[in-house]
A and B are shown apart, each in its own frame.
Chain A
Amino acid sequence: MQLTLWSYEGPPHIGAMRLAASMKGVHLVLHAPQGDTYADLLFTMIERRPQRPPVSYTTFQARELGTDTAELVKTTIQQTYDRFKPSVLMVGESCTAELIQDQPGALAQGMGLPVPVLPLELPAYARKENWGANETFYQLIRGLLRSRVPAPGSERELRAEGARPKANLLGASSLGFRCRDDVVEVTRLLDSVGVDVNVVAPLGASPEDLLRIPEADFNVCMYPEIADQSCHWLERMFGQPMVKTVPIGIGATRDFLHEVGRAAGIEIDTTKDPIWSRMPWYSRSVDSTYLTGKRVFIFADATHAVAAARIAAEELGFTVVGLGTYAREFARDVREAAKRYGVDPLITDDYLEVEARVAEVQPELVLGTQMERHIAKRLGVPCAVISAPVHIQDFPSRYAPQMGFEGANVIFDTWVHPLMMGLEEHLITMFREDFEFHDAATPSHLGPGTRKTQSEDAEPAAAEQAARADDAVMAWAPEAEQELKKIPFFVRGKARRNTERFAEECGIQTITVETLYDAKAHFGR
């Protein structure tokens, strides 16, 4: 058993649902107990879709367990087909159905339905949501295109003279973080270098659209978590190169365009400045100077985590003090990135472990998922959301991509917003006894409210308990403790930690004001 306060991903059948809900003409029958229909809410409420997801459930109850649940599966499949007449029917199980083993996929295949039936294997106790979506997308593409794979050794047809190259955008899905607008932005980006979009999938595609995938010159793997298996298979079977760079951030977008150029065999103008991004100037303008060296902790799916780290370090001038992902399948990319920024990668799906690490490194900003917002609230640290899982507020009405040049604009605003603004930060540091602007107050541009000062008061108790148990002899002199309070709250945790480390290294038992400043000089901040 794993104690889970918050989980980063749903079970794999949610991934399959996301796939079905992304597409047109595909229906999923899910063998699941009563109550599992809660998942419809993700689509109708969180994503605010105006239609029910194309998913039918068997919704068995205790009284049916004594009888023939397999018969219930068959009835549900038949009724679903008769009512919805999909072009492809997918059949899967949720976690409870997996335990009673009715083999609904095999049952469905034996029913002689006049459409392709795709049985899904979704091991609910070993795998998770993104895996489920990735696997479902792969099985669907493979199932539909297997018979069209050209014979080995046959040449790819050449693009007609003068025709614009075509790309497939693969991986955007329902409930994906900002997929809706990323597709628009990447389409615009490709258009600006003379590339057309052939098929966008799974988002908005029908099975018939998937059949046209081989007509493109290359595939853009927008979200590897959803589409990397499919892209690899298409590369092997149809010789379609795969563009791997994910265009989140200015640098990554430029790299992406270069890679597109290579895949499409076209010249990309590299000298022209990105015409529609204001982010580089905003970041260079003097108002942003105070952002330099802000200590940021990043935790997300691998794609967004790696992209965020690069933006933070190269484009905003932050210091990355923590980098991790819950997506074990993509841990390698995150490990490599962590090496670049000189931090220990954190590969875990255990929320408590992430919380412990955040408490330990005492960042000034957390970039994470909805779950990191809980952590940030507990520790009183500003936070911005950069990746799924997310809640309703991160499916905004306005245009809000993360990718491309407009994505960079959005990111600049979103990440800087939770930080205290420059003047307020200066004044709080200078004058500590103001009745309105003080440590316990939220930054005034964020409205009324009181900041939870756990990072200061409860943190030594909670987060440092383990560390302190070892050296129970170390103590803070009262004046030193007072002096520590004069350090602005957002770096105070770090100062406390550094001072204690310094004291430990020097064998100092009682930390005085002197020790505090010695440590400051030693660490240079």
Chain B
Amino acid sequence: MSSADEQRRVGVESCGVPNVNRERGQRQVFCGLAGIVWLHRKIQDAFFLVVGSRTCAHLLQSAAGVMIFAEPRFATAILQERDLAGLADCNQELDRVVADVLERRSDIKTLFLVGSCPSEVIKLDLSKAAERLSETHQGRVRVLDYSASGLETTFTQGEDVCLMSLTPQLPLLAEGESSLLVVGTLPDVVEDQFARIFRDLGIGPVHFLPPRQSTELPPVGKGSRVLLAQPFLGETARALQKRGATLLDAPYPLGIEGTLGWLKAAADAWGVSEERLREVTAAPIARAERGLARQRELLAGKRITFLPDSQLEIPIARFLARECGMELVEVATPFLDRQLMESELQLLPSDLRLTEGQDVERQLDRVREDRPDLTVCGLGLANPLEAEGLRTKWSIELVFSPIHGFDQAADLAELFARPLVRGALLQV
């Protein structure tokens, strides 16, 4: 038995579900609008029109504007005083703005109207508007709506609400057919890897949501088995369940253990034998273990704290603890969906300091007191903590990097080893 196997076994034995500390106060997180930054690249024929304020526009361009766009794929319809005073009919205004966008970008197939805090507070009905505009531009472009306001969503939840808005649009899976639906944005390379493994396991057809083109929506129905590739998709999962799909209970495909558990959930649903699963996964697992061994040397015994950001904290902490030998000081998540996290919580030590929500000042006090070897946090805190002599790993990178699956396990570990290596390397 390899040491990683041993680690996994020991982990399982010492487990129980940890208690959750709930904390409220100032939250240092993104709102759901930030999801647009990766969604616009995944769904290439979609355009995201935020209905909001100058602040929303500013957020988007501060996050994505360092790239130089010849053809922007998102924009903001900025509310003016006239709109708020009721002097302008917001619906007419919106129609005009949408017409402008569509005239400029004739290649758009799906337009998302994205709600924000201001549009929520003034109760602008974007779903009605989306219906109306879909009719107006019928045959040419589909108009959908979702709200990614900071009032309601935190960072990656923006993807959840976006995908949820797509679910009613999915075609119906024919009666008697079955398919596997993998949900959550994955980098193209990872998507292809998973597709190959499922093919080798004889599981299929496999569809991915979101698709690369908004016109190629996967079907859903009674025969759909859903595997969540991302832990922040509670609303989407429930919407798919409403359409008859079955949610497969699995850990998230991060690290070897998570990926194997994730694949096993599908294999079980398709009645694939243990033996076959072992055959198909043996080579990639051996490869991943070789890659991981190097990173494990750098990470084992190091203490790590997660500040809340993306809901990826729990599965990644599980991976770092069980497969890389790190010590978890505190793991915080912006939102804990018990149902979706069940399989993951089982794998965490029962005495883990697990926090849902945030009071940033108090949390930073704890970080300063604990002085972990590595703190996973947002960019608003990373440099200030570095200046205090603490090593950090900025968390947003985790949603922008290929980290899922066997062949990315070492890369995922490397993301955490890199700041430590760098810290040791620099002599200035």
Contacts and interface: CB of A to CB of B under 8 A. Distances in A.
Interface string A79-119: 10001000000000011100110000000000000000000
B68 A3 contact: no
Given A4-B57, A11-B53, A391-B66, A99 B383 contact: no
A494 B383 CA distance: 47
B121 A7 contact: no
A418 to B, nearest CB: 13
B213 to A, nearest CB: 23
B61 A1 contact: no
Contacts of A285: none
A1 B93 contact: yes
A367 to B, nearest CB: 16
**Nearest 4 CB-CB pairings of A with B:** A35-B31, A35-B150, A40-B380, A50-B387
A1 B361 contact: no
29 contacts: A1-B77, A3-B100, A5-B75, A6-B61, A9-B54, A10-B62, A33-B117, A33-B149, A35-B33, A35-B149, A37-B28, A37-B380, A38-B30, A39-B58, A40-B28, A40-B381, A41-B63, A45-B383, A48-B383, A60-B151, A61-B151, A62-B151, A83-B361, A95-B53, A124-B53, A125-B80, A125-B81, A374-B72, A392-B66
Contacts of A79: 361
Interface stretch (B82-90, B262-270, B296-304, B317-325): B82-90
B81 A126 contact: yes
A125 B380 contact: no
Given A35-B117, A49-B383, A58-B26, A6 B65 contact: yes
Which interface residue of B31, B117, B154 has the most chain A CB atoms within 10 A? B117
Given A34-B154, A96-B118, A50 B94 contact: no
Contact of B80 (A1, A33, A99, A374): A1
Contacts of B151: 33-34, 60-62, 65, 96
Contact of B59 (A1, A9, A35, A454): A35
Contacts of A452: 70
B77 A2 contact: yes
Contacts of A48: 383
A370 interface: yes
Contact of B387 (A33, A51, A100): A51
A56 B69 CA distance: 33
Interface string A262-280: 0000000000000000000
Contacts of B328: none
A45 B70 contact: no
Contacts of A393: 66
B84 to A, nearest CB: 6
B279 interface: no
B387 A378 contact: no
B401 interface: no
A391 B65 CA distance: 8
Interface residues of A, number: 62
Nearest to A2: B78
A44 interface: yes
B68 A7 contact: no
Contact of A34 (B27, B57, B101): B27
A373 interface: yes
Interface of B: 26-34, 51, 53-55, 57-59, 61-63, 65-66, 68-72, 75-81, 83-84, 88, 90, 93-94, 96-97, 100-101, 104, 117-118, 120-122, 149-152, 154, 361, 378-384, 386-387
A99 B84 contact: yes
A45 B379 contact: yes
A50 B384 contact: yes
A34 B68 CA distance: 28
Nearest to B121: A99
A68 B383 CA distance: 34
Which interface residue of B66, B71, B81 has the most chain A CB atoms within 10 A? B66
Interface string A130-144: 000000000000000
A391 B150 CA distance: 24
A125 B381 contact: no
Nearest to A454: B70
Contacts of B55: 10-11, 13-14, 36, 94-96, 124
Given A41-B62, A452-B70, A96 B53 contact: yes
Nearest to B364: A52
Nearest to B158: A35
Which interface residue of B31, B55, B101, B118 has the most chain A CB atoms within 10 A? B55
A46 interface: yes
Contact of A38 (B26, B62, B104, B384): B62
A124 B72 CA distance: 25
A10 B33 CA distance: 16
B100 A44 contact: no
Nearest to A42: B62
Contacts of A3: 75-77, 97, 100-101
A96 B76 CA distance: 15
Given A2-B80, A56-B26, 4 more contacts: A1-B96, A38-B63, A96-B151, A126-B81
B62 A7 contact: no
Nearest to A63: B151
Interface of A: 1-7, 9-11, 13-14, 33-42, 44-46, 48-52, 56-62, 65, 76, 79, 83, 94-96, 99-100, 124-126, 128, 352, 370, 373-374, 377-378, 389, 391-393, 452, 454
B133 to A, nearest CB: 14
Contacts of B100: 3
Contacts of B81: 125-126
Contact of B58 (A14, A126, A391): A14
Contacts of A126: 81
Which interface residue of A2, A34, A49, A352 has the most chain B CB atoms within 10 A? A34
A1 B28 contact: no
A61 B80 contact: no
Contacts of A46: 62
A25 B232 CA distance: 40
Contacts of A6: 57, 61, 65, 72
A33 B26 CA distance: 10
Contacts of A45: 379, 383
A464 B184 CA distance: 42
B408 to A, nearest CB: 26
A454 B51 CA distance: 30
A39 B56 CA distance: 11
A59 B55 CA distance: 14
Contacts of B53: 11, 95-96, 124-125
Which interface residue of B26, B71, B81 has the most chain A CB atoms within 10 A? B26
B79 A44 contact: no
A183 B134 CA distance: 54
Contacts of B32: 35
A477 B118 CA distance: 54
Contact of A35 (B30, B61, B62, B84): B30
Contact of A1 (B68, B69, B88, B104): B88
Contacts of A352: 104
A137 to B, nearest CB: 20
B150 A61 contact: yes
Nearest to B56: A95
B160 to A, nearest CB: 15
A37 B84 contact: no
Nearest to B99: A3
Which interface residue of A1, A36, A83, A374 has the most chain B CB atoms within 10 A? A1
Contact of B79 (A1, A76, A392): A1
Nearest to B396: A41
Contact of A4 (B75, B93, B122): B75
Nearest to B384: A52
A61 B71 CA distance: 34
A374 B70 contact: yes
A471 B199 CA distance: 59
Contacts of B154: 34-35
Contacts of B54: 4, 7, 9-11, 95, 124, 128
Contacts of A13: 55
